[in-house]
């Protein structure tokens, strides 16, 4: 009985620990969502072709984002456990590997976006108007990829070492700057100052891209300046970042490569889903983009708590408290999907605001609204699947199982079902969306079995 009470004592601080870490991450992701939503809403005032073009142009960024997240998320497995051991040397070596790989990958995407944007957009759409707008957007936004690759590893490292407030503040500044320059550059502006008239013509989708570059540059600069000024643990010297040896690189790759493969194939799967709706028609992809933009307003809660889950569990593992880790994991397994039931219902009132947010045809609004209704039904399953992969498996170093689990159900079941529904059965976009979301249910039941087995819990720093 004493043993049972000793194990349950840590749960007294469960909610405080979770939300202390999660709330700044939630707010940061909410602001990032508002940035994307602002782009979609402002560009949406230009027309359906422009909103489709920016949505498809951002799919290239989305793939890069998934790869960078895979690299940094894999590195965060090490950083959270090194943090539990207070091993700063290990944290710095991990940062060096993350920065090296992220920079190389981002350069490839930047060059492709600058040189062959039409080819990249052409993968998703055959509409020449959409391709033309998308290529203009992609060519202008591509330089921000390298800037983001520098800031991304630092953001995740600061989160993993429980410095969650600075990334939130930097994103808030980025949001304000993006909003200002979006309005000015998309629609144009003019004013008089000391008798001199200044005017800039609206640049449409190109203006939205330039605003994004300016905002991401500011966010990264603020993040680096203030983290080094405050001497955060992960903000080491250049020499400390590149002290890693061949054996440590091997250990990193062995754990992080499955995460990178996982995120890359998952990101590619999302782009295939975009391609499915795009080839169903411009109205279908516009509705799908609107659905994704609105759903992100509520999904940020699960992104924040999912990341907090991984930080908490990883630190517990690094401290050698495996019994407490299992206790926390069991609580997360039911508490967070339960939250998804209530939060998912918020999508209904949000769906009623669509006509006021997007200047598109009524049939597009109706389709997007029905797709949001479908999403509400799958929210608890999607939430558990995300927690299991990003929180439990990655914190515990069980990255091979997580990668197979995440990729298999998407590529073997959901995407084939979506393609069959769209192009063989000729079903409506909401019905196709239903087929694509079935993977969450399958992931939930298989994930529960893995969680119960305890095989997900490993100390990768030993």
d(CA 441, CA 427): 21
Cα 365–chain centre separation: 25
Inform me whether the pLDDT recorded for 457 exceeds 50: yes
What pLDDT is recorded for position 305? 86
As a whole-number percent, the residues of the chain with pLDDT over 70 amount to 95
What pLDDT is recorded for position 323? 83
User: Is residue 365 within 8 Å of 381, Cβ to Cβ?
Assistant: no
Diameter of the chain measured on Cα atoms = 82
Inform me whether the pLDDT recorded for 438 exceeds 90: yes
User: Is residue 185 within 8 Å of 203, Cβ to Cβ?
Assistant: yes
Inform me whether the pLDDT recorded for 77 exceeds 80: yes
Buried b / exposed e across 190-222, counting CB within 10 Å, b at 16+?
Answer: eeeeeeeeeeeeebbbbbbbbbbbbbbbbbbeb
Read off the pLDDT of residues 408-432 as tens digits, 9 standing for 90 and up.
Answer: 999 999 999 999 999 999 999 999 9
d(CA 340, CA 254): 33
Inform me whether the pLDDT recorded for 37 exceeds 80: no
Read off the pLDDT of residues 164-205 as tens digits, 9 standing for 90 and up.
Answer: 889 889 988 988 898 888 888 888 777 676 667 676 777 888
pLDDT category at 1 given cuts 50, 70, 90 is very low
Question: SS3 for the chain, per residue?
Answer: CHHHHHHHHHHHHHHHHHHHHHHHHHHHHHHHHHHHHHHHHHHHCCCHHHHHHHHHHHHHHHHHHHHHHHHHHHHHHHHHHHHHHCCHHHHHHHHHHHHHHHHHHHHHHHHHHHHCHHHHHHCCCCCHHHHHHHHHHHHHHCCHHHHHHHHHHHHHHHHHCCCCHHHHHHHHHHHHHHHHHHHHHHHEEEEEECCEEEEEECCCHHHHHHHHHHHHHHHHHHHHHHHHHCCCCCCCCHHHHCCCCHHHHHHHHHHHHHHHHHHHHHHHHHHHHHHHHHHHCHHHHHHHHHHHHHHHHHHHHHHHHHHHHHHHHHHHHHCCCHHHHHHHHHHHHHHHHHHHHHHHCCHHHHHCCHHHHCCCCHHHHHHHHHHHHHHHHHHHHHHHHHHHHHHHHHHCCCHHHHHHHHHHHHHHHHHHHHHHHHHCCCCCHHHHHHHHHCHHHHHHHHHHHHHHHCCCCCCCCC
Query: Any residues with CB less than 8 A from the CB of 12 and at least 6 apart, and which?
Result: none
What pLDDT is recorded for position 6? 45
pTM score of the predicted model: 0.74
Region 277-302: mean pLDDT is 87
Ramachandran category for residue 235: left, alpha or beta (phi over 0 → left; psi -120 to 50 → alpha):
beta
pLDDT category at 98 given cuts 50, 70, 90 is very high
Read off the pLDDT of residues 233-250 as tens digits, 9 standing for 90 and up.
Answer: 999 888 899 888 888 888
User: Is residue 160 within 8 Å of 76, Cβ to Cβ?
Assistant: yes
Please name every residue paired with 189 in a beta bridge, in sequence order, or none if there are none: 200
Residue with the larger pLDDT of the pair 12 and 262: 262
What average pLDDT is seen over the chain?
86
**Helix pair 246-280, 399-408: axis angle to 10 deg:** 10
Residue for token pair 């970042």 = 241
What pLDDT is recorded for position 430? 96
């Amino acid at each position: 009985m004493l043993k049972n009470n000793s194990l349950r004592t840590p749960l007294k601080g469960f909610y405080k620990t979770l939300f202390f870490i999660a709330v700044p991450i939630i707010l940061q992701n909410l602001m990032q969502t508002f940035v994307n939503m602002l782009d979609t809403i402002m560009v949406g005032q230009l027309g359906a072709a422009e909103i489709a073009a920016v949505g498809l142009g951002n799919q290239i960024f989305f793939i890069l984002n998934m790869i960078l997240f895979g690299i940094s998320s894999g590195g965060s497995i090490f950083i959270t456990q090194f943090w539990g051991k207070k091993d700063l040397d290990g944290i710095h070596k991990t940062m060096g590997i993350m920065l090296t790989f992220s920079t190389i990958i981002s350069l490839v995407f930047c060059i492709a976006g600058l040189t062959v944007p039409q080819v990249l957009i052409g993968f998703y759409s055959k509409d020449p108007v959409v391709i033309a707008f998308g290529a203009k957007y992609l060519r202008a936004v591509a330089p921000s990829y390298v800037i983001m690759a520098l800031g991304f590893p630092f953001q995740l490292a600061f989160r993993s070492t429980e410095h969650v407030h600075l990334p939130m503040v930097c994103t808030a500044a980025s949001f304000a700057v993006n909003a200002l320059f979006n309005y000015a550059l998309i629609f144009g502006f003019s004013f008089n100052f000391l008798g001199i008239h200044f005017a800039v013509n609206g640049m449409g989708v190109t203006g939205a891209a330039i605003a994004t570059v300016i905002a991401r540059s500011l966010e990264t600069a603020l993040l680096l300046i203030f983290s080094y000024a405050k001497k955060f643990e992960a903000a080491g010297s250049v020499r400390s970042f590149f002290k890693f040896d061949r054996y440590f690189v091997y250990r990193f790759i062995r754990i992080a490569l499955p995460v990178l493969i996982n995120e890359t194939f998952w990101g590619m799967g999302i782009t295939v889903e975009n391609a499915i709706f795009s080839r169903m028609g411009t109205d279908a992809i516009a509705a799908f983009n609107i659905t994704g933009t609105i759903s992100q307003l509520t999904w940020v809660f699960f992104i924040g708590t999912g990341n907090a889950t991984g930080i908490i569990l990883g630190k517990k593992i690094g401290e050698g408290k495996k019994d407490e880790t299992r206790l926390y994991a069991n609580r997360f397994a039911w508490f967070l999907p339960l939250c998804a039931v209530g939060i998912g219902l918020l999508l209904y009132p949000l769906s009623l605001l669509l006509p006021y947010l997007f200047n598109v045809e009524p049939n597009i609004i109706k389709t997007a609204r029905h797709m949001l209704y479908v999403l509400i039904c799958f929210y608890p399953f999607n939430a558990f699947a995300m927690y299991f992969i990003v929180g439990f498996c990655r914190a515990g170093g069980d990255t091979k199982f997580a990668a197979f689990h995440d990729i298999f159900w998407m590529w073997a079941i959901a995407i084939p079902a979506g393609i069959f529904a769209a192009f063989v059965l000729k079903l409506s976009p909401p019905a196709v969306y239903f087929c694509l979301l079935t993977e969450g249910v399958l992931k939930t039941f298989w994930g529960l079995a893995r969680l119960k087995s305890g095989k997900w819990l490993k100390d990768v720093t030993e």
